[in-house]
Structure 1
Amino acid sequence: MRGAVEVCGLVLGFLGCVFGFVSLHIDSWKESSDYDDVIVTSNLLENLWMSCAEDSTGTWNCWYFPSLLALPGYIQACRALMITAIAMGTFGLVATLVGMRCSRVGGENYVLKGRIAAVGGVFFILQGLCTMVAVSWYAANITREFFDPLYPGTKVSIGDGLYIGWSSGTLALIGGCCLLCSCNVKQEKLEYRFPPPSRGAGFTHSASSSQYGRNAYV
């Protein structure tokens, strides 16, 4: 049962890493909304790295943000959190592969392997927390601008990248909790058993008894 929980935690953590990588590279963290627009002539998409526009003819134009220092503070923070999440997920995968019971790496010291698997679970939890904070912070700014009647810019809505990011954070958190619940960090109890009597000792004892019997009758 413990091995199955470890495998489940590894699979969920791996999927969390994959979804986080996809979310970081997808274009649509936020996209233009049709709210209060009578005629829509272009579709705007934006993520942490660039902004894209599609006109009515289907032509795409994308441009990267010119300077990191010119970006709003929350975008800089979300970039740092997502990169940290990818790094934490990578460390979590390596630690989990080393610490699993079915892995041959690290020998048969299951106490040490359990602790390494627990470290992998902690890394997955940190990945999930970083991802959830980043996508939730970004979504909170989108929501604030959308419902602000004095906001002069274009109204935008939550894009697919944020939903993938939320899925990534949820999978990573569940995978980390599975690893923490399945790890064995306590010293296993040793069972002491008396060794069975050897066959030679039994024959010696019987031989001596029989010899003693013969001498008694003489």
Structure 2
Amino acid sequence: MAVLVLQILGLLMCIVAWVLEISSTSSNVWKVRSHADTVTTNSWQFQGLWMDCAATAMGSVQCNRYKTVLGLPGYVQACRALMIISLLLGLFGVIVSLLGMKCVKVGNTSDQVKAKITVIGGILFLLSGISSLTAVSWYAARIVQEFYDPFNGHVKFEFGPGLYIGWGGACMAIVGGAFLCCSCKKSSAEEPKGYAYNYSMTSQRQKIYRSAPVSESENTKAYV
């Protein structure tokens, strides 16, 4: 029962993490224009992996897609690739983990095989979380670097909600994947440990030795 609860908890966390990773990837608010050096805050500018947007106090928002991929900075292209890989790993992780659940019956699959399938699903989610965490942290590091760069004449940006959503999804994916991997160890620990003995009956030949019969002449000689 404890194994099933651990598997369900881990799978639910991984599914929520995957949804958060999708929201973070599609978010256009990875970084927001800083108003630290400005007096008025009538306009806002924010960027994501796919669009550059601007908003005004009147409520109008205008977003423009990046016109070229090759013209983007290298870290933005790398973060795009890492987030897409994270989503693909999470999708495969959901499918594999569902097949390895103890409460799901697929043919005549044994519990040992299902436990291995669950571990594979957990590893996929661990890789998904690590990939997403790398992308979000890399992007955040570049924001900090550009913010404190004295020679940077461009607009300064700060962290946006998309980064926090990505961090939350990555952490949940790692924790959920760890739960799925630990459920296999817990399942193997609950199995009864014993030793099987094979008894084989071996026939042993017993040889009975009898003394030779004594003749009558020898008996009479013994009495003389």
Tell me the TM-score normalized by structure 2: 0.82
> C-alpha offsets along residues 73-109 of structure 1, whole Å, 9 cap, x if unaligned?
0000000000000000011100110001100124341
Q: What is the CA-CA distance between 1:191 and the residue it aligns to?
A: 6.6
What are the Cα deviations for residues 126-171 of structure 1, in whole angstroms up to 9, with x where unaligned? Answer: 0000000000000000011111121111111000000000000000
Unpaired segments ≥5 residues, structure 2: 197-224
- Counterpart AA for 1:154: V
The answer to whether residue 149 in structure 2 is matched with residue 148 in structure 1 is yes
- CA distance, structure 1, for counterparts of residue 71 and residue 7 of structure 2: 44
The 5 Å alignment of 1:123-162 reads 123-162=124-163
Distance 2:83 2:117 in 1: 24
Name 2:38's counterpart in structure 1.
37
Paired AA for residue 155 in structure 1: K
SS of match in other structure, 1:44: strand
Checking the alignment, whether the CA contact within 8 Å between 1:106 and 1:113 is kept in structure 2 is no
1:89 and 1:77 map into 2 onto residues whose CA distance is: 18
State the secondary structure of the residue aligned to 1:36: coil
User: Aligned runs of 1:11-160 on 2, under 5 Å?
Assistant: 11-160=12-161
Larger radius of gyration: 2
Tell me how far apart the structure 2 counterparts of residues 8 and 56 of structure 1 sit (CA, whole Å): 43
Residue aligning to 1:196: none
48-57 or 86-95, larger mean C-alpha shift: 48-57
CA distance in 1, matches of 2:107, 2:184: 15
Residue identity in the other structure for 1:46: Q
Match of 1:182 in 2: 183
Q: Tell me the CA shift for residue 56 of structure 1.
A: 3.1
Question: SS in structure 1 opposite 2:132?
Answer: helix
Amino acid at match of 1:33: S
One-letter amino acid matched to 1:86: L
Q: Secondary structure at the match of 1:54?
A: strand
| Identity across matched positions, percent | 39
- Where 1:12 maps in the other structure, the secondary structure is helix
CA distance in 1, matches of 2:122, 2:58: 48
Stretches of structure 1 that go unaligned for 5 or more consecutive residues are 194-218
3-state SS in 2 of match to 1:157: strand
Q: Distance in 1 between matches of 2:180 and 2:40?
A: 52
Quick check: 1:49–1:65 contact (8 Å CA) kept in 2?
A: yes
Equivalent pair of 1:98/1:106 in contact (CA under 8 Å): no
CA distance in 1 between partners of 2:194 and 2:39 (Å): 78
For residue 183 of structure 1, give the secondary structure of its aligned residue in structure 2.
Answer: helix
Distance 1:67 1:163 in 2: 27
- Distance (Å, rounded) in 2 between the aligned partners of 1:124 and 1:136: 18
Aligned to 2:167: 166
CA distance in structure 2 between the partners assigned to 1:61 and 1:54 by the alignment: 6
Aligned-residue offset at 1:39: 2.2
